[in-house]
Amino acid sequence: MLLIPVEDNEQINMIYTTIFEDIVEIDCFSNPNEFYKDLKERKADIYIVDLFFGSQLLGYDICKAIREVNTEAKIIISSSYISEDNIDTLKVYGIYAFISKPFDIHNLQDVVKEIIEHSASDTKCNSN
């Protein structure tokens, strides 16, 4: 299972790597342009997307790009700027969870583990 965070804060990417490297393959992107190149090459199972990169609101575009190539992936929004307007706008992309920063590491781990467990049970059901 592949998890790709798209987050411009390198410290947060280090946290993601530390908390998830033992349970999933993880590859962090701090540069949206590099992420877009990679998105054409491979599909992840889970994406964690920040809404803002510097002063630019790029999270919507990132979610749209993910959905254009991967309708099955689970997308988690992790941002300091989660509002009702953001949630309503992002619903069209089938966001799995919204997690406000600063986030509780255990809450984020629980969300990712829930996705992994559902994926494992779906695989079991499909193989019967």
Angle at 65 between CA 19 and CA 73, to 5 degrees: 45
pLDDT digits (tens, 9 = 90+) for 73-88: 999 999 988 889 888 9
For helices 10-20 and 105-127, the axis angle rounded to 10 degrees is 50
pLDDT digits (tens, 9 = 90+) for 47-71: 999 999 888 888 999 999 999 999 9
Which of 75, 44, 45 lies closest to 62, judged by CA? 75
β-pairing verdict for 56-57 and 52-53: antiparallel
Q: Tell me the pLDDT band of 105, cut-offs 50, 70 and 90.
A: very high
SS (H, E, C) 31-93: CHHHHHHHHHHCCCCEEEECCEECCEECHHHHHHHHHHHCCCCEEEEEECCCCHHHHHHHHHH
pLDDT for the residue 28: 98
pLDDT digits (tens, 9 = 90+) for 6-34: 999 999 999 999 999 999 999 999 999 99
CATH of domain 2-127: 3.40.50.2300
pLDDT at 124 over 60: no
pLDDT at 96 over 90: yes
Distances (CA, A) of 36 to 54, 61, 103: 17, 10, 25
pLDDT at 127 over 60: no
pLDDT for the residue 81: 84
Angle at 87 between CA 28 and CA 78, to 5 degrees: 25
